[in-house]
Structure 1
Amino acid sequence: MDMQSIIGMVSIITAGFTIAIGSIAPALGEGKALSQALMAIAQQPDETPAITRTLFVGLAMVESTAIYCFVVALILIFANPFWNFAIGG
């Protein structure tokens, strides 16, 4: 097996693990935040606009972690910095 095949194989496996692990925690966090927000709205319906606004900002912050993992996976697959090492070496 040559160096390019090894780097390609490791890059694809690492990208898969990055997406898998990087999407589990944000999904759990979003579910927990949503359940707590619904509980808060059920207890105090007058505060719904404030709770909803805060929920959306929090969900955007949590979702950014998954987006960063997706970007890292795309870099590993399409713009891998180790390809130059394999081609040049």
Structure 2
Amino acid sequence: MKLIVVQFFIISLLLTSSLFVLSNAGLECGGKCNVRCAKADRTHGECLQDCNICCEKCNCVPSGTFGNKDECPCYRDLQNSKGGSKCP
């Protein structure tokens, strides 16, 4: 019986820590994407949506409001359905 309780406790800790990491990633992306989309040509909401998708896939966002995509090759190389750059 003690073994089952210990296993349940360990599994609970692992799940909790993974959820914490995911939620922190979302906060980091949001802040970086707000900076990235501050001067976007298209609507701010569209820019944020695409930037957050790219950030979650790549775990990075280039610095500044434009350019600097070489800082994050994954972000730079993601393409939309038309073959253009997915990430702002």
TM-score, normalising length: structure 1: 0.49
Q: If you compute each CA radius of gyration, which structure gives the higher value, 1 or 2?
A: 1
- Give the structure, 1 or 2, with the largest relative contact order (CA under 8 Å, sep 6 or more): 1
TM-score, normalising length: structure 2: 0.49
